[in-house]
Structure 1
Amino acid sequence: MKKGAWAERAVAGAVFVTHVTPRARRNELTDGAPIKAEVTAPPEDGRANAAVGELLAQALGVAKSRLTLIKGATSRDKVFRLD
């Protein structure tokens, strides 16, 4: 996905609900409700959470530090908020 492909969604306070598939073949975001995120990182020590945050930040065209994981740290269903 191109950097900033979802830039129109980068509004402060926006919430992004995702369903994550760790240990996938590639890193990819698929638009939908919820957003489907496939990451190559394993679900250990927060690696998959970090990978999803980076992928989402890249798609939104914002710094990864602006995204906060607000729900689902140990679940495949996660909720991120853009600060």
Structure 2
Amino acid sequence: MSWYAQAADGSLILTLHIQPGARKTEIAGLHGGALKIRLAAPPVDGKANAALLGFLAKTCGVSKSAVELISGDSSRAKRVRLRGADLDRVAGLAGD
């Protein structure tokens, strides 16, 4: 199973494993079928989720409004929808 999939509407659905409270925000490869992202933001009051959405927007070259948290609001396992992102650019995030 891949950590990303293209939805019927053309958007991309990403399966992520988040590690909040890290030293720096970065992509850390794959973790059990999900893209692992370390976030410097703490998991308090939605700060980690906001940091994640901003990081993905910047990394994938889309606006913040094009990134939507679908599931995992209070979990390390999250699903995110990206609208208007380039499939090849997103697929290359894991470095494979």
- Alignment TM class, shorter chain as reference: 0.7 to 0.9
Q: Secondary structure at the match of 1:62?
A: coil
Report which of the two structures shows the higher radius of gyration computed on alpha carbons: 2
The AA in structure 2 aligned to 1:23 is G
Please list, as runs of the form range in 1=range in 2, the aligned pairs for 1:3-82 lying within 5 A after superposition: 12-32=10-30, 33-82=33-82
Following TM superposition, where does structure 1 have runs of at least 4 consecutive aligned residues deviating by more than 4 angstroms? none
Higher relative contact order (CA 8 A, sep 6+): 1
Q: Secondary structure at the match of 2:14?
A: strand
Go from structure 1 to structure 2 and tell me whether the alpha carbon gap of 1:81 and 1:16 turns closer, same or farther (over 3 Å shift).
Answer: same
- The offset of 1:65, in angstroms, is 1.1
What percent of counterpart residues are identical? 39
Q: Number of paired residues?
A: 74
Normalized against structure 1, the TM-score is what?
Answer: 0.80
Q: Unmatched 5+ residue regions in structure 2?
A: 1-5, 84-96
Q: Secondary structure at the match of 2:75?
A: coil
Normalized against structure 2, the TM-score is what?
Answer: 0.70
The AA in structure 1 aligned to 2:44 is E
Cα RMSD of the aligned pairs, angstroms, is 1.8
Q: Distance in 2 between matches of 1:46 and 1:22?
A: 11
Mapped contact 1:29–1:55 kept (Cα < 8 A): no
